[in-house]
Amino acid sequence: MTEHTLTVAGVAVDTRHWIGGERVASAETFTDVSPIDGSVLGEISRGTAAEADLAVAAAKAAFPAWAATSRAERARILHAVADGVEKRIEDLAIVETTDNGALLRSHRRGVMPRVAHNFRFFADWLLKLDHEDFETRGHTNHVSWDPAGPSVLITPWNAPLMLSTWKVAPALAAGNTVVLKPAEWTPLTASLLADIAAEAGLPAGVLNIVQGYGSEIGDALTSHPDVRRISFTGSVPTAQRITQSAAANLTPLSLELGGKSPLLVFADADLDLAVDLAVEQYDNAGQVCLAATRILVEKTVAEEFTRRFAEKAAVIVQGDPRDEATDIGPNIHERQLEKIDGFVRRAVEAGARAVIGGHRGEGRYYAPTLLTDVAQDSEIVQEEVFGPVLTLQTFTTEDEAVRLANDTRFGLAATLATGDRDRAARVTQRLVAGTVWVNCFFVRDLQAPFGGSRHSGVGREGGTWSFDFYCDLKNTVTAPKGWKDHG
């Protein structure tokens, strides 16, 4: 071990940046702490504008060669990265669980395999990316996707590696070079990704990873004149700052932001299914942007729904995320816990009633909470909590249900429980959301467009939509005449 290496559950992690194919240390560091028990994991290199400039310069220098690399070769390397991820699933899983507190069993069985799939999917999609030529008055139109250039990707802490590679994989497949800035609360698996990518043969400078605070290195990245794309997942206030920062250079943005998504439960729904869907919203301690945190239940079944919900939620096991029996781990940070508790306390002071929960546990754990008697215009209904806190309201008509569902500034997702196919068709058409689930939740396919409406985001990524964002689309029009025969 060296001064720049820490060990997490037996796994060595380099604490320095990855720039131009080399490890680069900063003069200052920040402390990384595990949310499981508050233990210090290590000191991480804390980047500034200087490291931002180095990383963008490395990405810019590597771009021409990577953009000129054939689709087949780019795809081969991305598959090699996926192979490397699969070989290290256990390492990645335990490091990420320790760093962000999400369930180890989920990381092993779902999240880290999805990381590998992100690379494989976009590698394969690249090879079939095409648009059929078409004619205009005898002239041939040919559409192509040209690599745009260095791309800055800024990712959150709730699913660090999966959400990072959801951006990294299509950006690299498109022929762009990348500067990735992971969240400062969860930097470790991004460092491991640098090792995996290097071992897979990704050329130096194609993927660069810098660590630090948004105000110190993030702003320098998003305002950099050599950056051609910015993709961000996180909060609305940060997105507003990024948008202002990028405006001077007219850098295209893709923003996936917060949510305050509804779950609509109609009286004709399978009530057991609806309850299962509702309790599922506590996944990852409520730290899921897509979570349906506003439960809207038809009044005639609200009492029965609430009773069944409380019974099912009562058996949730909250504890150490490394334990196979645990259902919910800790929240990420003391600051986040204070925020969650503040929302709940203010709601109760305003008249809300906690059917379950409503309080902190020991350490960084917050009890799964369901609040009723909440007003539509109240803070707890309108603002994103990002913790295990749900609200329950009732409605009497379909129109009222849709009105309540749409009555926030967000529009990321919505979930609908009903036994009536016609109603499902009517209601989903009227809901303002980037994704709508009917009688299910969190079924995701990388072919589908993903993003939010209103304050939940700008743009869509996934499948061809990702390449549309990370590339400059070009249409080449060729005349049928004017050619000289060199035969």
Q: Are strands 29-33 and 40-45 parallel, antiparallel or unpaired?
A: antiparallel
Distances (CA, A) of 291 to 83, 116, 369, 377, 464: 31, 24, 14, 20, 25
440 is an active site residue: no
CA 17 – CA 44 distance, rounded (Å): 9
Query: For residues 171 and 179, is the Cβ–Cβ distance under 8 A?
Result: no
In 3D space, the residue among 9, 174, 20, 168 whose CA is nearest the CA of residue 94 turns out to be: 9
Q: How far apart are the first and last CA of the chain?
A: 66
CA 363 – CA 330 distance, rounded (Å): 8
Residue 320 burial (10 A CB sphere; 0-12, 13-18, 19+):
middle
Who contacts 465 (Cβ-Cβ below 8 Å, separation ≥6)? 449, 450, 459
Who contacts 283 (Cβ-Cβ below 8 Å, separation ≥6)? 291, 328, 442
Which of 184, 289, 384, 461 is an active site residue? 289
Residue 480 burial (10 A CB sphere; 0-12, 13-18, 19+):
exposed
Query: For residues 389 and 293, is the Cβ–Cβ distance under 8 A?
Result: yes
Torsion sign (Cα): 170, 103, 271, 387: negative
**DSSP string for residues in 95-136:** HHHHHH---HHHIIIIIHHHHHHHHHHHHHHHHH-----EEE
Residue 397's identity, in one-letter code, is T
CA 409 – CA 392 distance, rounded (Å): 18
DSSP helix/strand/coil, 439: coil
Which of 96, 256, 384, 461 is an active site residue? 256
The residue whose two tokens read 């917060």 is: 258
DSSP state of 214: I
CA 401 – CA 296 distance, rounded (Å): 7
Query: For residues 95 and 235, is the Cβ–Cβ distance under 8 A?
Result: no
256 is an active site residue: yes
Q: Could you list the active site residues?
A: 256, 289
